[in-house]
Amino acid sequence: MATIRKRGELQWQAIVKRKGYPLQSKTWNTRKEAEAWARQIESEMDRGVFVSRAEVERTTLQDLIGRYRIEVLPNKRGKHFGPALRVLEQHLGKYSLAALSPKLIAGFRDKRTKAGLSASTVKKEINLLSKLIDLAGKEWGVALPANPCAMVSRPVEKNARDRRLQPEEEKYLLTACEQHVALLSRFALETAARLGELLALRWADVDTTKRVMVIRGIDERGTKSGDALRAVPLSPAAVSVLDELKKLPRGIDGRVFYWWKASDSFSKTWGRALTRAHASYIADCEKAGGEPDQAFLIDLRFHDLRHEATSRLFEKGVFDSMEVASITGHKTLAMLKRYTHLRAEDLAKKLG
């Protein structure tokens, strides 16, 4: 039975003693609060789920974020981690882990949403907070009885892309690109690999005889999906691209697409290629007296080529879902479906 005793004129202390558990005590402003806290602690001990709150009450989210920046962040590749950590620190950093309730986190979600942040951004911030809490409990000895983020709904993303590369767009894009950009684009359309994976690809991991390449991810830290490596079959068209690349000067670091160090350094090159392709298309339309589409190619992202390549793998009818997933590196069929957009007219042809 818990002991409730008055401390001074305005406070009440609750003390819980139970064999096999360290003594638990906490001071409250009212007797009612002290009794409620004691009942909760005793209930958790009865059910065998009690976790001492001493550490989580002393540790703030800011403390966790500081440790995460030192021990974990240097090994992360995503660009959103740093900004998300700053946001969490700004809005929730002063709170102890014990104070991180579902209500508090839901309030943070709503505040960020009302400020105009995208559902994707807010979702990533809450997911990162959840990972911080799990990491603290599993590896750093600062455990909550339950992760409060698990009881907070995430904003619904409504920005899923269904962009397909049209044949006319592909023609203008590959014609307008510089040679090495065109070769990279063609290879992406044949392999469904991510831009970062392609820029990290080394000649040592390419076997044109067996028509296989091994993707190891950026800096050999594994692929984005978490696998140490992924073997990707090469189509005759992909091998043809590699044969063309072999005729060009080799880079000194052994990478196949050595012209760009990382995805960020490729963005300006891609933007220039789209601008040239768009201008060429407009000029041809005006010359033919037609009405050009002013949005032609402008909104195309390089990552859309991965979507396009994944869809084409299905349209060829050679692979089943699991085989396509092994090629593209998608962990779940749900994610594979998100990156696959089959043309209705192509599906209609299968109906006879």
**How many angstroms separate the CA atoms of 213 and 245, rounded?**
15
Quote the percentage of the chain above a pLDDT of 70. Answer: 88
pLDDT of residue 86: 95
Query: What's the mean pLDDT in 122-140?
Result: 93
Output the CA torsion 77→183→311→225 (10° steps): -20
- Identify the domain containing residue 307 by its residue range: 167-349
| Cβ contact 174:186 at 8 Å | yes
pLDDT of residue 333: 65
pLDDT tens by residue, 78-110 = 677 889 999 999 999 999 998 999 999 999 999
User: Active-site residue among 194, 216, 230, 341?
Assistant: 194
User: Active-site residue among 68, 172, 258, 339?
Assistant: 339
Whether 180 sits among the annotated catalytic residues: the reply is no
Quote the percentage of the chain above a pLDDT of 90. Answer: 50
Whether 180 and 321 share a structural domain: yes
Whether 124 sits among the annotated catalytic residues: the reply is no
Q: Which residue has the tokens 């490596």?
A: 229
Helix (H), strand (E) at residue 12: strand 11-16
Whether 62 and 202 share a structural domain: no
Whether 224 sits among the annotated catalytic residues: the reply is yes
Q: Quick one: 89 exposed, middle or buried, by C-beta within 10 A (0-12, 13-18, 19+)?
A: middle
pLDDT of residue 314: 81
pLDDT of residue 322: 75
Q: Would you say residue 123 lies in a domain?
A: yes
Q: What is the CATH number of the domain that holds 124?
A: 1.10.150.130
Can you read off the two tokens belonging to residue 328? 């593209």
- 147 compared with 37, residue with greater pLDDT: 147
Whether 28 and 67 share a structural domain: no
pLDDT tens by residue, 225-249 = 555 678 888 999 999 999 999 999 9
Whether 177 and 294 share a structural domain: yes
Amino acid, res. 36 = A
Angle, helices 167-176 vs 263-288, to 10°: value is 110
User: Active-site residue among 109, 306, 307, 341?
Assistant: 306
**How many angstroms separate the CA atoms of 129 and 135, rounded?**
10
pLDDT band (50, 70, 90) for residue 152:
very high
Q: Would you say residue 190 lies in a domain?
A: yes
Whether 271 and 344 share a structural domain: yes
Cβ burial 291-304 (10 Å sphere, 16+ → b, else e): eeeeebbeebebeb
Tell me the helix, strand and coil percentages in the chain, rounded to 5: 55, 10, 35
Q: Would you say residue 161 lies in a domain?
A: no
Q: Would you say residue 301 lies in a domain?
A: yes
**How many angstroms separate the CA atoms of 199 and 345, rounded?**
34
pLDDT tens by residue, 170-196 = 999 999 899 999 999 999 999 989 999
Whether the pLDDT of residue 291 is over 80: the answer is yes
Integer CA distances (angstroms), 121 to 28, 101, 128, in order: 38, 21, 11
- Closest by CA to 3, choosing from 27, 22, 29, is 27
User: Active-site residue among 91, 112, 278, 330?
Assistant: 330
Q: Quick one: 318 exposed, middle or buried, by C-beta within 10 A (0-12, 13-18, 19+)?
A: exposed
DSSP letters spanning 90-128:
HHHTTSBGGG--HHHHHHHHHHHHHTT--HHHHHHHHHH
pLDDT of residue 160: 62
Whether 176 and 303 share a structural domain: yes
pLDDT band (50, 70, 90) for residue 218:
low
pLDDT tens by residue, 7-23 = 888 899 989 898 888 78
pLDDT of residue 54: 75
Mean pLDDT of the chain: 86
Whether 278 sits among the annotated catalytic residues: the reply is no
**How many angstroms separate the CA atoms of 140 and 267, rounded?**
39
Whether 258 sits among the annotated catalytic residues: the reply is no
Whether 247 and 345 share a structural domain: yes
Count of domains for the chain:
3
User: Active-site residue among 80, 131, 164, 303?
Assistant: 303
Whether the pLDDT of residue 224 is over 60: the answer is no
Backbone angles phi, psi at 29, to 5 degrees: -80, -25
pLDDT of residue 22: 79
User: Active-site residue among 224, 272, 276, 312?
Assistant: 224
Whether 67 sits among the annotated catalytic residues: the reply is no
Q: Would you say residue 160 lies in a domain?
A: no
Q: Would you say residue 341 lies in a domain?
A: yes
pLDDT of residue 24: 82
